[in-house]
Amino acid sequence: MLYWLLYPLRDATGFFNLFGYITVRAAGATITALITGFLVAPGIIRMLTRKQIGQEVRDDGPKSHLSKRGTPTMGGVIILLAVFFPVLLWGRLDSTPLLVVLTSTLWMGLIGLLDDYLKTVRKSSKGLVGRYKLLGQCALGLGVGIWLYFTPPQPQYGPHEASVIPGFRTIELDSGEITIFSTETTVPFFKDIRVDFGVLYLLLVTIVLAGTTNAVNLTDGLDGLATGVSLISVLTFGGLAYFLGHANFASYLQFSHLPGVGELTVFSGAIAGACLAFLWYNAPPAQIFMGDTGSLALGGAIGSMAVVTRNELLLFVVGGVFVAETLSVMIQVCHFRRTGKRFFLMAPIHHHFELKGWAESKVVVRFWIIAAILGLLGLSTFKIR
């Protein structure tokens, strides 16, 4: 919004030229999201406490978690509010990648909100039935895949540029020539290897979005764990988006220039501010939990950022903590069904380390450190190829 209101005034006053820079608007989005989170969080916490919308805790989990029973949940609403308004204020909504990521975040957040509502307000033990949750996730994946597949480059890059912009291609139909999104994805650490999924691209997007949201949801089990790891992942993909959206940087790094993707830097700034504000209240001992509202929203953000930057496979590196959490659950279930015994003391794996004697804060900080290392490794793949 501010871009359209103030940037046209740059000829009259040079100061307004700042609003044309993505970095400036990203910083503005970060600060605005941080302030918004601090402003709305206390009221939301009081409301949830008054209505007794509290967290249920597993009796078979670590005993230290029993004291958390009744802590207000559904706090992901704070993150959603602190992201949505700053993006509207500082972002350029003519950017298809930005719209895709923002829509994915809100859609997944609403699914999580419904799940939290059924569990905490309607007292349904299972919340939203798993198949309905998966249906909502797959519907988003299919919609995003179709949206990207048939969306041409942004008009501000010139009406005749479409056929020559790397990352897009044209096909012939009876009605004429149309521009479509490339179905190729990059392979980390390899410069000349790309995988073209063709029509299976829609399936890839669906798997990435559903898988990432569920992985973040599994990681959300300790105070600040999912928030901190998600923050690092989003900032990593935000940095990648900035390079890919800048024609000169993309050319230097020998990547396809992706028009409009640079606006995800603004989005990642808003997520960073929102997560930092939420961490203020979610730090141990937590005053509020994000619930599925927050974990599914953050998963939707991370998954969709990987998709629109065409770095889906990089998720296995940047989101290595999420991968480990998911694999630990899969290993636990398969091993128990086969042998009748547990492979880990408890899954997901962060609970395993708790039962091994690690303090909750130690598990969280160490997982943050691992996530930061993986984020740096993900960024390094732009040069180590």
State the pairing for strand pair 176-181/168-173. antiparallel
Amino acid 61: pLDDT: 58
Mean of pLDDT values over 62-74: 70
More confident residue, 120 or 317: 317
What is the rounded distance in angstroms from the CA atom of residue 247 to the CA atom of residue 38? 36
Mean of pLDDT values over 14-41: 92
Mean pLDDT over each residue of the chain, to the nearest integer: 85
Amino acid 159: pLDDT: 35
With a cut of 80, say whether residue 103 has pLDDT above it.
yes
With a cut of 70, say whether residue 32 has pLDDT above it.
yes
Gyration radius of the chain over CA positions: 21
With a cut of 80, say whether residue 167 has pLDDT above it.
no
Amino acid 161: pLDDT: 39
Token pair for 353 = 């380390």
Q: What does pTM read for this prediction?
A: 0.88
Mean of pLDDT values over 246-253: 79
Amino acid 244: pLDDT: 87
In the structure, what pLDDT confidence band is assigned to residue 123 with cuts at 50, 70 and 90?
Answer: confident
Span 178-220, pLDDT tens digits: 445 677 787 887 777 788 887 788 899 999 999 999 999 999 9
Amino acid 269: pLDDT: 96
With a cut of 90, say whether residue 263 has pLDDT above it.
yes
With a cut of 90, say whether residue 130 has pLDDT above it.
no
Mean of pLDDT values over 28-33: 96
State the pairing for strand pair 190-196/184-187. antiparallel
Amino acid 158: pLDDT: 36
With a cut of 80, say whether residue 260 has pLDDT above it.
yes
Which residues lie across from 187 on neighbouring strands? 190
With a cut of 50, say whether residue 173 has pLDDT above it.
no
Span 349-374, pLDDT tens digits: 999 999 999 999 999 999 999 999 99
More confident residue, 127 or 74: 74
Amino acid 326: pLDDT: 95
Q: How far is CA 39 from CA 33, 244, 323, in A?
A: 10, 34, 34
